[in-house]
Amino acid sequence: MARFWVCVAGAGFFLAFLILHSRFCGSPVLRNFTFAVSWRTEKILYRLDVGWPKYPEYFTGTTFCVTVDSVNGLVYIGQRGDNIPKILVFTEDGYFLRAWNYTVDTPHGIFAASTLYEQSVWITDVGSGFFGHTVKKYSSFGDLVQVLGTPGKKGTGLNPLQFDNPAELYVEDTGDIYIVDGDGGLNNRLIKLSQDFMILWLHGENGTGPAKFNIPHSVTLDSAGRVWVADRGNKRIQVFDKDTGEWLGAWNNCFTEEGPSSVRFTPDGKYLIVAQLNLSRLSFVAAPPVGSIGECSVISTIQLADQVLPHLLEVDRKTGAVYVAEIGAKQVQKYVPLNSYVPSFGS
């Protein structure tokens, strides 16, 4: 039986409730719940939006990744499976718009990098077919715009640039690109590319020391110019200067049970949201001040049902909503902040 843990703020009262929603009925993971209550005092920051999406039957495969185009109010979801559309497009209100499949083999990570003048979506493809081991840019309607890597051929080369199971990427408003490569392949590296795809700096060695990786799985930036990498196999998050690539420090005290699989900041920059796949847990970690990395401090958690398996997540930089791609439950869920954010980063 699946288990769902509720953290109650304050030890003087009890509150537990179960919301049944029709979209859960087809999921063996979410069909039955057992509630247990943790009396540890935590801030409750988010609540589940049980009405998103409006029509979950469009989830026909295993949902690996999600991204948000905050400029245009669109949500893109990457799913895997045979004879299904690989990319689904929803509105932020949960209405299905369209799907496409052109030149997408096996999506792993996805990032929307839209401006007022261009809607674009980047996808990391880990497939073994003709389109795998690449990082690709698409239009909102699935037109292929740019391919990085050698399609269908994994490798370690830098000229031309090659990938092996590229896990995720993050695109700055400047057009600079940060890529973590790879998800259990030949490479364990973090690469920064310019907007014209020249390598600006790179950390690319397997190991446990500073600036070395064991399955770098997710990457994000904060407003202070720091790059945060989920070093999943080493059970830590590593931090770098975005301009020089200098190693600034690491967090490992929060991840003794399991390494982080996904990292994203809230729009106000106060919290780093971390997903842990096999623990089925989301943690909200206090962001450190400028000039310090310090120790990891968990402020709040969302404990999902067993075997939900949150793989990658994304945060809407305008509304603060959190979207979680769950490979166990085969769905994407949306969490909304209890208090409205005043966006200050990347808006």
pTM for this structure? 0.88
326 bridge partner residues? 310, 331
- Taking the C-alpha atoms of residue 220 and residue 31, their distance in angstroms, rounded to an integer, is 34
Task: Considering only the C-alpha atoms of the chain, give the largest distance between any 2 of them, rounded to a whole number of Å.
Answer: 62
When pLDDT is averaged across residues 49-68 and rounded to a whole number, the result is: 97
- Taking the C-alpha atoms of residue 312 and residue 102, their distance in angstroms, rounded to an integer, is 22
Evaluate whether residue 30 is within a structural domain: no
Q: Which of 34-48, 71-85, 331-345 has the highest mean pLDDT?
A: 71-85
Evaluate whether residue 306 is within a structural domain: no
Number of folded domains that form the chain: 1
Residue 33 has a pLDDT of: 34
Of 7-16, 156-165, 166-175, 326-335, minimum mean pLDDT range: 7-16
Mean pLDDT, the chain, rounded, equals 88
- Taking the C-alpha atoms of residue 326 and residue 310, their distance in angstroms, rounded to an integer, is 4
Q: In the structure encoding, which two tokens stand for residue 265, read together?
A: 């900041």
Q: In the structure encoding, which two tokens stand for residue 76, read together?
A: 């893109």
- Taking the C-alpha atoms of residue 49 and residue 21, their distance in angstroms, rounded to an integer, is 11
pLDDT at 226 over 90: yes
Of 34-38, 173-177, 199-203, minimum mean pLDDT range: 34-38
- For 82, residues 6+ apart whose C-beta sits below 8 A from its C-beta are none
When pLDDT is averaged across residues 216-233 and rounded to a whole number, the result is: 98
Residue 114 has a pLDDT of: 84
205 bridge partner residues? 212
DSSP state of 296: -
Evaluate whether residue 89 is within a structural domain: yes
Residue that the structure tokens 């075997």 belong to: 307
Output b/e per residue, 309-340; b: 16+ Cβ within 10 A: bbbbbbbbbbbbbbbbbbbbbbbbbbbebeee
Give me the count of residues in the chain.
347
pLDDT at 313 over 50: yes
Evaluate whether residue 78 is within a structural domain: yes
pLDDT at 19 over 90: no
Evaluate whether residue 24 is within a structural domain: no
Evaluate whether residue 224 is within a structural domain: yes
Evaluate whether residue 296 is within a structural domain: no
What CATH number corresponds to the domain at position 92? 2.120.10.30
Asked if residue 86 lies in contact with residue 101, where contact means CB atoms within 8 angstroms, the answer is: yes
Evaluate whether residue 245 is within a structural domain: yes
DSSP state of 234: G
Which domain, by its residues, includes 120? 54-252+317-322
